[in-house]
Amino acid sequence: MKNLLAMDTFTIELNEISHKKSKLIRLWIGGALILVVTVALSFYLIGSDITRLAVLIPVILQVAIYIYFAYSTYNARVYIQSDAYALEYKFGMLSKTPKTIIWETITKVKIGPTYLAFYKRSGKRTTISLGWLPYVKLKEIKEKICEVAQAKGIACEWAEYKKYS
């Protein structure tokens, strides 16, 4: 029973920011430099004080948006996890609530090259697109989902891959 419970539960963190912190900091510094150059160029090209004030308001707004997106991207938690009751995932950087798929409502799981399709008892289908993930994470997610589905008695179908010559 304990082994079955362990098979039903998994968590895969998809946020790569902690692993690539130096790359993220370089990206932020590059964006900040572009922003500063844009502001300096705007002030240099505009002559009168009233016009400079009119340019300053959108620039301040641009800086605020830049800081907000940098902060929210850094603090975002992107994951996919499952327990005995449901599969839960959150992929968007700005979405606050995770999406949930309850295992009892699923009759079949179809695993494609870059997607997971969950067929429900109601006849509807929920598709999760995973084409944006690195191959290692994609493979890990597919294997874990298939393990959980088979442990719950849900059919797990792998889509055929077409090979073009």
pLDDT tens per residue across span 7-22: 568 888 877 655 566 7
Q: Identify the sign of the CA torsion 69, 74, 76, 82.
A: positive
Give the pLDDT band (50/70/90) at residue 1.
very low
In angstroms, how far apart are the furthest CA atoms of the chain?
77
**pLDDT for the residue 17:** 58
pLDDT in tens, 101-155: 999 999 999 999 989 999 999 999 999 999 888 888 999 999 999 999 999 999 9
pTM beyond 0.75 = no
- Please name every residue paired with 10 in a beta bridge, in sequence order, or none if there are none: 82
